[in-house]
Structure 1
């Protein structure tokens, strides 16, 4: 592949992920897909509707990823989350910080991107502060604490820390292990449909459709990055690489580090080494899609902070999300859907931390009322 062909492929991938992220932003805003909203509904109202929506998104993404892997459309070992190291403490602590932060900031990174598209200046402030905190945790002052105190607590495996790989090494049924994602996905959908059904058929199917579409967007992102973006030999390095991704590996949706990279790109726009990557394009696509939805619905409206206390709460939440999201290597979308769709062991720990942090913060805020 020539350099011109590689650049053309990269541009194609960036446009495609921009449009796919725009679709994701549109769907999330239309169906009120929000993880912190799902957890708060369950804690305060005992309403599990949006939790089911989240579970359906996970199940569909899981089925999609496993099908792609079985059909040879992507190499599982080349994904961002396919590591032999399990940073269990980072996943747990980072997840808890992120979960508490998203409650204070009225939503996770993805939710605030969709709110920004609808005219929320509160979301803009949250995203800027979260980007600074995330970048500091990637390469700055909080990165030192992360590496020294959290990342050092790890488990090393002989295979990638993915459930199918672990099962393949521990059982004599390799076919079962490679198809574990299909079984988990189907079981999760059946569980959602069977336990404590939602009232009202229209509401039930409308909510579930939102989860299906979000899951399909994540699966499509895996295919786009892992199949269409595969370059066997980079024209300059002659090494295998995946076009447009920041890591050079297969990536899907995640919205913490990419928001930091977006701010970095905007601040150093004239620096030729700063280029638009997969994550930056997905961030811009999310805002674009939610903006289009707001115009379509006719509910675009500028929104600001109610008072200084509201501002302080959102600033604290943004900081916690930036630090926690990088420490846990993902957010409610990155770990909560993308990583768990490939049955990453770290994602199970990170999700437990996110839910724990969110529930504790919700309980704390309720006790102060």
Structure 2
């Protein structure tokens, strides 16, 4: 920790530039590992609710379990101060987590991928994911500061809680997070072996979970040595993607911060992985894929992500790793929403229920 703080205390570049570089580094790791492992909550959800947890579910659990374990290690050691984590030190909304999470879960089924998955796929040549992801970003911005913001604020205000109620670390036995993270990771390794996932993809998935902890560690370390306010955060996509897009449109110079480095970092990491693995190829909308479902899914994910306080990674994994009550509720709502949507689609058209989890 001291070495990292000393490294980040250099005066050669500005503190905002350091934050952006930290985001770029984390993004490169996340993007490369997400592409190589095929990490996807939608695919995991389809397997789980289909009663056949397989490789996709094992990968998701590997990422979540390792992120929870590593981040809880940071919290218990004091390397990540609890009072500096926004999800634990500020008020939250339970209604937003439940409603927004359910909307996001439905949206990711319709759009064939969550916000992070769309970004990763975009960098591999999937133009369907690129267009859908851009729409998610526009709707998210409208929900944050635009036409949809009054509705978001109204729904958020239905059931709000203070920081103490939101922080599960205050209500659980000591080291509960470490124990749960260790148990989930062990279970994930067992499921990965049963699904014949392979050592390489198993380790890549664990490194992917570790990138969440790395984001927390880097921003916490920078906040300790910075002369300017630095937000202590980690990987999330709905907000940073919206901020980056709006900065490109409205600002002559993009304000540097962690999220501004994270988004292009994920794209570059995913692109490099796809090229090296010879998996880059252009995909477009056609008669078999349709387009309406993607549009509806993007709208639900954009608004739902902002209402829930983050996407499947931002709220679900990153927020869940610090034991934020709203994040765990949002993640549960995403799983339930995706399961309900998949069930309805299977009843409407058997083609949706053939177990395919490709994007």
Could you say which residue in structure 2 is the equivalent of 1:184? 180
Could you say which residue in structure 2 is the equivalent of 1:171? none
2:88 is paired with a residue whose SS is: coil
Deviations 1:27-77 (A, max 9, x none): 111111111011112234613332232222222212222222233322211
> Which of 107, 111, 117 in structure 2 is aligned with 1:101?
107
Could you say which residue in structure 1 is the equivalent of 2:162? 156
CA distance in 2, matches of 1:77, 1:34: 31
Contact preservation (8 Å) 1:33, 1:210: no
Contact preservation (8 Å) 2:309, 2:315: yes
Once the two structures are TM-superposed, the CA of residue 293 in structure 1 deviates from its matched residue by 1.2
Task: Show the 5 A alignment for 1:230-249.
Answer: 230-231=224-225, 233-234=227-228, 241-242=229-230, 249=231
User: Are 2:147 and 1:165 equivalent residues in the alignment?
Assistant: no
TM-score (ref. length: structure 1): 0.86
TM-score (ref. length: structure 2): 0.88
Task: Show the 5 A alignment for 1:69-80.
Answer: 69-80=75-86
Unaligned runs of 5+ in 1: 168-175, 235-240, 243-248
Could you say which residue in structure 1 is the equivalent of 2:93? 87
Q: How many residue pairs are counted as aligned between the two chains?
A: 341
Which deviates more from structure 2 when the two are superposed, residues 349-358 or residues 182-191?
182-191
User: Are 2:312 and 1:332 equivalent residues in the alignment?
Assistant: yes
Task: Show the 5 A alignment for 1:1-369.
Answer: 5=11, 8-44=14-50, 46-156=52-162, 159=164, 161-167=166-172, 176-177=173-174, 179-193=175-189, 198-200=194-196, 203-231=197-225, 233-234=227-228, 241-242=229-230, 249-270=231-252, 272=253, 274-307=254-287, 310-369=290-349
Could you say which residue in structure 1 is the equivalent of 2:4? none
**RMSD of aligned alpha carbons:** 2.3
CA distance in 1, matches of 2:133, 2:195: 36
Unaligned runs of 5+ in 2: 1-8, 350-359
